[in-house]
C-alpha cells in the first residue's frame, strides 16, 4: 500500500513535539515499517505563535482540536491534550464516530471512558490505540494483547508511577522526609505542582484499570481499584523495612482467582532480593504471570518525551499496517471485583508509636490474639529524645479485616500516640 496515512495531532507539548520529530527525522524508516508513508497534515494546540523548533508551515492549523476529526485530509488523530473530559473526550468521540483511527497517551481518558470509546470504534470499524497511556515506552499493551496472547494471565503487577518510585528511592537512600523529597521531585520536573494524582496513587490506578481490562478481557472499571498513596510512608518505615529484609514500593496489582478479579494500588513491602525491589528512580516495570510463559518482565522509562512519543508512533504504525483489531472488550461478561477482598489472607507490616511504659506489648498482643493474629517478627526502637517508642511487627497470614479490627482497638489504647501504619507484604 503506497497511499500515505495522514495524521492530525492535537497537543504540541513535550510529547507532541516528540511525535512530530520522530515522524520527520525517521520518515523513510517509518514508511518502510508501516508499508506506507506517514505524513502529518494538520495540528492543533493552544498557542499558535510558540516556537517549537520545527516547521508547521505545511500543516493545517486548527484552533479547535475537535475540528481535526472532520478534516478531510486527516485519516487518523493523535490526542496529546490530556484530561479525562473536555476537548480530549470530545475529540475522541468525534474521531471514532467519523470512522477514523484514534491514538492517545491519555490514561485518564481511557480509564474513565475507554469502554464507551471502544464501542464507538467497533461500530465504525476503526482503531482505538493507547500504548503510551500505560508505562510510557514499555510496550505492555501490545505485550499483553499480542505477544502474550497464548497465555491465560493470572496476575499483572508492577511499578506504574515513576514519580512515586523516585520519591521512595530518594527517601530510602537519603533518609529525607516525604515532603522534602517531593519538593525536589517537583523542582526536577518529576512531579507536578499539584502532585495529588501521582502521590495518592490515582495515576497508577488509571493505568492498572486499563491493564486489568487488557489482561483479562473485562470492561474497564476504574471505580473498583482499591487505591492508597505514599503520603504516610516515613523514612523510619523504609529503615525498618530494610532491617526486616524488605523494600517499600508503590505497586499496582491485578490478579484473577476463579471468577474474581482484584485491583489494588498501594505501598507494599517486597523482599529485597526480588526483581521488582531493584527497580529504582523514575523507572517503571511490569511483570505478567501467564500459564505458559511463567513470569515475563518488562522494564524501562515510564514517562518523558522520547519514550512516550515512541509508544505513540508505534500505535500509528500499527494502524498504518491495517491492524484495527480491538484491544478492549467493553462487553466482556466478567467484571472486576470491588477493589480487594478484605477477607483474603496475607502478611502485614505494622508500625505503632507508643509510650514507653510497662504492659504495652501485652495489651497489643492481646488485641491481636483476640483476632487470631500472630506476630512473625517484632522490632522496637526508642527515639533519642522523648518518651515515645516505635513498635514494629510483621504478622503471619491473616485477613486484612481481622487486622483492621485489632488495630481499631489498639488505636484507642491510651498509650498509642499515633494512628498505626499498615503496609501489606507481598510475595513474588
pLDDT digits (tens, 9 = 90+) for 167-188: 999 999 999 999 999 999 999 8
Q: pLDDT (tens digit, 9 = 90+) per residue, 3-23?
A: 999 999 999 998 999 999 999
Q: How confident is the model over 258-278, as pLDDT tens digits?
A: 888 999 999 999 999 999 999
Average pLDDT of the residues of the chain: 93
Specify the domain boundaries for CATH 3.30.70.260 within the chain: 345-426
Are 221 and 335 in contact by the 8 Å Cβ rule? The answer is yes
For 154-175, the DSSP string reads EEEEEE--HHHHHHHHHHHHH-
Distance CA 19, CA 301 (A): 16
Give the contacts of 33 (CB within 8 A, at least 6 positions apart).
Answer: 317
Class of domain 5-133: alpha beta
Of 315 and 305, more confident: 315
For the chain, residues classed under CATH 3.40.50.720 are 5-133
Output the pLDDT for position 49: 81
Give the residue range(s) of CATH 3.30.360.10 domains in the chain.
140-301
Catalytic one among 207, 226, 249, 412? 207
| pLDDT (average), residues 92-117 | 97
Q: pLDDT digits over 345-398, tens only?
A: 899 999 999 988 888 899 999 999 999 999 999 998 876 666 688 999 999 999
21, containing H or E segment:
helix 14-25
Annotation marks residue 142 as catalytic: no
Residue 341 pLDDT:
63
**pLDDT of 201-233, one tens digit each?**
999 999 999 999 999 999 999 999 999 999 999
340 band by pLDDT with thresholds 50, 70 and 90: low
Q: What is the pLDDT of residue 358?
A: 85
CATH class label, 345-426: alpha beta
- b/e map 89-121, b = 16+ CB within 10 Å: bebbbbbbbbebbbbbbbbbbbbbbbbebbbbb
Domain 140-301 fold: Dihydrodipicolinate Reductase; domain 2 (3.30.360)
The whole model's pTM is what? 0.94
Digit-coded pLDDT (tens) for 275-294: 999 999 999 999 999 999 99
Instruction: Return the closest-CA partner of residue 223 out of 334, 339, 114.
Output: 339
Asked whether residue 338 carries a pLDDT value surpassing 70, the answer given is no
User: Please, what sign has the CA dihedral across residues 17, 19, 21, 23?
Assistant: negative
Q: What percent of the chain has pLDDT over 90?
A: 82
Amino acid at each position: 500500500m503506497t497511499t500515505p496515512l495522514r495524521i492530525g495531532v492535537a497537543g504540541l507539548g513535550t510529547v507532541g513535539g516528540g511525535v512530530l520529530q520522530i515522524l520527520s527525522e525517521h520518515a523513510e524508516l517509518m514508511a518502510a515499517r508501516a508499508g506506507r508513508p506517514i505524513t502529518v497534515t494538520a495540528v492543533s494546540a493552544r498557542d499558535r505563535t510558540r516556537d517549537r523548533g520545527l516547521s508547521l508551515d505545511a500543516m493545517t492549523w486548527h484552533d479547535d482540536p475537535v475540528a481535526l476529526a472532520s478534516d478531510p485530509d486527516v485519516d487518523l488523530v493523535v490526542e496529546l491534550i490530556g484530561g479525562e473530559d473536555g476537548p480530549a473526550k470530545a475529540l475522541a468521540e468525534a474521531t471514532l464516530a467519523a470512522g477514523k483511527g484514534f491514538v492517545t497517551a491519555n490514561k485518564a481518558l481511557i480509564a474513565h471512558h475507554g469502554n464507551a470509546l471502544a464501542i464507538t470504534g467497533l461500530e465504525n470499524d476503526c482503531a482505538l490505540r493507547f500504548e503510551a497511556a500505560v508505562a510510557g515506552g514499555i510496550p505492555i499493551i501490545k505485550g499483553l494483547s499480542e505477544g502474550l496472547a497464548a497465555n491465560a494471565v493470572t496476575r499483572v503487577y508492577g511499578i506504574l508511577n515513576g514519580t512515586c518510585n523516585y520519591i521512595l528511592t530518594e527517601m530510602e537512600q537519603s533518609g529525607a522526609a516525604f515532603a522534602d523529597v517531593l519538593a525536589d521531585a517537583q523542582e526536577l520536573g518529576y512531579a507536578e505542582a499539584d502532585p495529588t494524582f501521582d502521590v495518592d496513587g490515582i495515576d497508577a490506578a488509571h493505568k492498572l484499570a486499563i491493564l486489568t481490562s487488557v489482561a483479562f478481557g473485562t470492561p474497564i472499571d476504574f471505580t473498583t481499584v482499591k487505591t492508597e498513596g505514599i503520603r504516610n510512608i516515613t523514612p523510619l518505615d523504609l529503615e525498618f523495612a530494610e532491617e526486616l529484609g524488605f523494600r517499600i514500593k508503590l505497586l499496582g496489582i491485578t490478579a484473577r482467582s476463579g471468577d474474581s478479579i482484584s485491583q489494588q494500588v498501594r505501598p507494599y513491602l517486597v523482599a529485597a532480593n526480588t526483581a521488582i525491589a531493584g527497580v529504582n528512580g523514575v523507572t517503571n516495570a511490569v511483570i505478567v504471570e501467564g500459564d505458559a510463559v511463567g513470569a515475563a518482565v518488562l522494564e524501562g522509562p515510564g514517562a518523558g518525551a522520547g519514550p512516550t512519543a515512541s509508544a505513540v508512533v508505534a500505535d500509528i504504525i500499527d494502524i498504518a499496517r491495517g491492524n484495527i483489531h480491538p484491544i478492549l472488550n467493553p462487553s466482556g461478561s466478567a467484571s472486576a471485583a470491588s477493589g480487594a477482598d478484605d477477607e483474603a489472607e496475607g502478611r502485614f507490616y505494622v508500625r505503632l508509636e507508643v509510650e514507653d511504659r510497662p504492659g504495652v506489648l501485652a495489651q497489643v498482643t492481646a488485641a491481636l490474639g483476640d483476632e487470631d493474629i500472630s506476630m512473625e517478627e517484632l522490632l522496637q526502637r526508642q527515639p533519642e529524645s522523648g518518651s515515645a517508642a516505635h513498635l514494629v511487627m510483621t504478622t503471619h497470614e491473616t485477613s486484612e479485616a481481622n487486622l483492621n479490627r485489632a488495630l481499631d482497638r489498639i488505636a484507642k489504647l491510651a498509650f498509642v500516640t499515633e494512628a498505626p501504619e499498615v503496609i501489606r507484604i507481598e510475595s513474588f
